[in-house]
Amino acid sequence: MPATPQNSNMRLFDNGFDNRFARLPPAFYRRIDPTPLAAPYLVSVSNDAAALLDLDAAETHSERFLNMLAGNLVPPGAEPLAMLYAGHQFGTFVPQLGDGRAILLGEIVNAKRERWTLQLKGAGETPFSRTADGRAVLRSTIREYLCSEAMHALGIPTTRALGIAGADEPVYRETPETAAVLLRLAPSHVRFGSFEVFYARQQHENLKLLADHVIEEHFPQCLGTPDAYEQFLIEVVERTARLIAQWQAVGFCHGVMNTDNMSILGLTLDYGPFGFMEAFNPGHICNHSDDQGRYAYENQPYIGLWNCSRLAQALTPLIDAEKCNAALARYEGAFLEKHAALMRAKLGLAQAMEGDDTLVSDLLGLLAEHGTDYTIFFRALSRDSTDAARDLMANRSAFDAWATRYASRLAAESSNDTDRHARMKAVNPKYVLRNHLAQVAIEKAEQHKDFSEIDRLLALLQHPFDEQPDFETYAAPPPDWAKDIAVSCSS
């Protein structure tokens, strides 16, 4: 039976939902209620994400909140719907995708006048589910929940994750698993593929309506200008370039950079087979389903541009092709500028100087040669001397030669060691969501309904740059058994 609206004293409901996306014509979505979960239970709630909606702990642990989280309660004004989009999946265009297991409830304006849209992921079948069940499993929701909040703490633009509801309802993937629903937040869930679908259908009026909607709501600086659509495209291209530069600098691999997984706002969207680089390898493929390595770590910047070119193509009914190409030409400069600044910061360099790019690329070459753990190395380099970083290298003499150049470079800007080490620790995380850490939390949750490790990881990852002495083992290299962990598109 469909979920039904109920009254509540919760501020989340009292504030009232709206759904401006539902004001667009029906061609943009299909109205659908979430499919309720039988006997749901609360798995975890992010207090940091709850604060975005002005919710306190009492509210997020109430029965009514749990029922909304599970899809059993539709708040007044929510107008749930599944969004339509298309997309290039592993380079091949799929003319219709859409939210197959996600349902947009609506949006809330918080006390700061920030507008957040709430989307349930795993809330049941939609008209776009094709032959799938529309459910998510506990395993994948835990991964997305933890990584969303971890990425935010790292300063990387991302969707946020408010909480997880679980249930004993079976869901069949490679093996039987249990159902879960993730409630995620973003200013918008519009994707590159949201534009591609109307371009492919030659529905140019709908394409214009969507562009006008997104510009009005999220790119007001473009309003009222004669080249509003071009400026919008430039902004998206540059945001995407800067986002992927941040991924590369922290060693994050997305795994499925299909155009339907690319946020129009430049947010990290749709966490599936992601991974943080451990043994550094530019050709690392984190997605077991990516047979050709299309989305390997070193390819992410190029795929970002390729995806932007698909968006630009979709916007050609609104923007002259030559101007689209000019907008795309901004990508490389935006990426290189951001990536260079981030890597200088990781090395504690306060100024840009000639030769910095070579210093960085030579270091990455050494890390690749030795298969050095990316996160551990840069954290070690943030210490009072380079000895800890040197100890991670198999070829000490090669590192010593690089370290001599590094020391000369620091001297060239009269670097203050104390200040530099503090700056480096503020940008080189000690803790990232390694796959084995997530796996331990998943197994405790699946086997024992013990969600304590999820909350422990959440608290840890919300402060990735702090020492946190009680959690030293969480910063250690992965154990041998972690080599057997494989994440795929079902993750």
Residue 292: HSE in the Cβ half-sphere, 13 Å Cα cutoff: 6
- Cα gap 162→179, rounded to integer Å: 17
CA-to-CA separations, 151 to 27, 160, 264, 462, in angstroms, rounded: 33, 9, 18, 9
120, 71 contact by CB (below 8 A): yes
Active site residue 384: no
Grouping H, G, I as helix, E, B as strand and the rest as coil, residue 136 is strand
356, 263 contact by CB (below 8 A): no
Helices 138-153 and 452-461 pack at an angle, to 10 degrees, of 20
* Annotated catalytic residue, options 14, 133, 168, 260: 260
- What are the structure tokens assigned to 73, written together? 């309660």
395: buried, middle or exposed (CB in 10 Å: 19+, 13-18, 0-12)? Answer: exposed
- Cα gap 413→221, rounded to integer Å: 38
Q: How many CB atoms lie within 10 A of CB 359?
A: 18
Nearest alpha carbon to residue 307 among 261, 248, 375, 348: 261
46: buried, middle or exposed (CB in 10 Å: 19+, 13-18, 0-12)? Answer: buried
Q: Which residues have a catalytic role annotated?
A: 260
